[in-house]
Every structure is written in C-alpha cells, then in structure tokens.
Structure 1
C-alpha cells in the first residue's frame, strides 16, 4: 500500500482453518492511509490470529522509497466478532511513528485454544471498546458500557504487550 484505502466494509465473513483472519499490514516508507474500515459479523473457527493490524511489515518493491513516509491508520471498527478455536484473537501493532487511532470493538466473544496472559495484544493504539468484550481487551482502550457511557479511560495508548511467541 502506498496510496490510500478508505470507506470499506467487510461483513458476513466466516474464516476457518486459517493462520490469519482479518489483516491490515503496512510499514514506514509506504505513506498513504487506511481509514474508515468497518468489519461486521465476522466468525472465526480454528484461526491462529483473528485480527491483525501490523505497521512494521517492512516489505518494499525496491530501495527507492522514502523511509519517512508514514501511513496514517485510523477509524477502524470491529462489530460482531465471534468464533471458537482462536489462539490470539487480536494483535494491534502500531508504533511511535505509525500509531493506530480510533480503533473500536463492540460485541466480541471469541473462544480460545491457548490461554496466556497477552491474548489481546496491543502497542501504540488508541480507541474504545463498547460493552462486553471477550477476551478482555488491553489497557490501551477507553471502556464504554452498552449505552455508550464512559466507564474507564485508558491509562496510556502506548502500552506494548505484543508477544510473537504465541
């Protein structure tokens, strides 16, 4: 990606027996943007990592790219995410140069195959979770109840708990 992508809806998708469910990947030097992306009614069955946003993919077609061209990632929502047999439901890997902004989760319940501390993984992400989310989201998110009332503000948006050993 070196241009931009926006205003995309992905809905009513069933992903099974896969390494990745939903993935957005980019890197420094790509520039552009990914914004206003909506995922709705997604089901995972036997998926290693359900949702991935990765900003250090570091794959370029040639050496002539601008390493200071940072993509802008934001306004991405995940609503109605369900499933079973998922090892890591969420891995959101922003960075200091490419933070993830305005990421929203609502109505999520994913059964796990692997129980470890960091199964909802985040770094340099800002956003909100609305209502009950399972597994528990990382501390980077503001928490809202089902009626949209703020329950708890995030302590920091730069907390890092990415564990690639899973």
Structure 2
C-alpha cells in the first residue's frame, strides 16, 4: 500500500474526551504489511491515545521510502498509557528514522485539556529489525518529569546516516531501557545489556483463534 500519512495509525481518543470515554485500543495484530509512506510512519501509536493503547503486536513488516518505522506520539494532556507493544521482524529501506518517539506532540482538541494528565509509556519491545539507507536510527524523547520506560531492543541492524558530519545515529532524552545486539550502538540510556531476544508473547490474540465458517451456494439458473 502507498499512504499519504501513516500506513497504520492506532488511536483511542483525544485528551479529556478520550480519558472520560476510557476505551483502549488493545489486542491488535499488524501482520505481513508492505507499505510506502513518504510523509508518515509505517506504524504510528497515537497521538490521540487518551483511552489507552496496549497489547499491540506487529510482525513481518516491509517498508520503503517512509518517514519512520515505528513512531510513538503523545504529549502532556493525553494521560492514559501506551504499553505492551511488541514488534518482531521489520525490513526497512530509505527513511529518516527507524524508531521515533515523541513526548511533545503538542496538538489538542481544545484549550480545556489538563496539562498535568501525563501519559505512561512502558514495555515497548522491538526485535529483529533490519534497515538500510537511514538518516537516523532512533530519535526518542519522553517528557520532562515523565520519562518513558521499559524499552527493549534486540537484534537490530541499521545502516546509513549520511556523511560523517551528519552521523548522529541516536538521540535519546527522558527514556530508559535495555538492548542486545544493536548496531550502531544505541545511546547510553539503552546500552544496559538486556535479554538476547526481547519478549514477544507466545499466546494467541483473539483474532488468531476465530473459527471461520465455510459457506457454499448453488444456482438454479
């Protein structure tokens, strides 16, 4: 598919309206996706995530000529959470960022939002990612006083970064996590040795166990 914005965008409500409604987007599988998104992310979580986003799985993803691979978007005023995100298997070509996390996506439904409603971002797992012709491996920022935690990166190989003068592979602020077998080596807050493979849940989600009925018909014409 070719998208004019994000190829896949997971959302769940905006600021106090989403907090009040309180229905999360959860137990989703994004599987065998091939896309091209020059002005957006291959997979975006948020920024309207005030009902919560959890237990999202993405596997076997291929993309070319996209702004970013996985992007998390949120800001003060959103509240709620983005948690239990599991990515396994991305093959990416030609993009600005592979991992992009934004805690300052400062767009709001109106002026009535609560700036003290801070989002929780935790348990974000990326594994088995290969990317070529990339300007920046990771541009990952949380919120002052509200760091994003629990990132795990394993078996990640990213190449590119332009000229040596432009060779800033990672930028990390207000986040924390672990990594294993990641090239180029990530920023200091992610260099603590993590598991050989970041977690990917073995249990099926409901869509994997749906029984489909076989239908048939005959024509008398």
Q: Place the TM-score, normalised by the shorter chain, in its bin.
A: 0.7 to 0.9
Matched, 1:127 2:177: yes
d(CA) in 2 for partners of 1:57 and 1:147? 32
The match for 2:108 is: 60
Which protein, 1 or 2, shows the higher relative CO under an 8 Å CA cutoff with sep ≥ 6?
A: 1
d(CA) in 1 for partners of 2:143 and 2:98? 20
The match for 2:188 is: 139
User: Which protein has the bigger helix share?
Assistant: 2
The match for 2:72 is: 24
Count of aligned residue pairs for this structure pair: 147
d(CA) in 1 for partners of 2:177 and 2:132? 25
> Which stretches in structure 2 are left out of the alignment for 5+ residues?
1-48, 198-221
Query: Could you say what secondary structure the match of 1:45 adopts?
Result: strand
Matched, 1:89 2:137: yes
User: Which protein has the bigger strand share?
Assistant: 1
Give the RMSD, CA atoms, in angstroms: 1.7
> Which stretches in structure 1 are left out of the alignment for 5+ residues?
149-166
Assess if the C-alpha contact under 8 Å between 1:70 and 1:97 holds in 2.
no
Superposed CA offset, 1:50-89 (max 9, x none): 1111100011111110010000001001100102001111
Query: Could you say what secondary structure the match of 1:30 adopts?
Result: coil
The match for 2:84 is: 36
Poorly superposed stretches of 4+, deviation over 6 Å: none
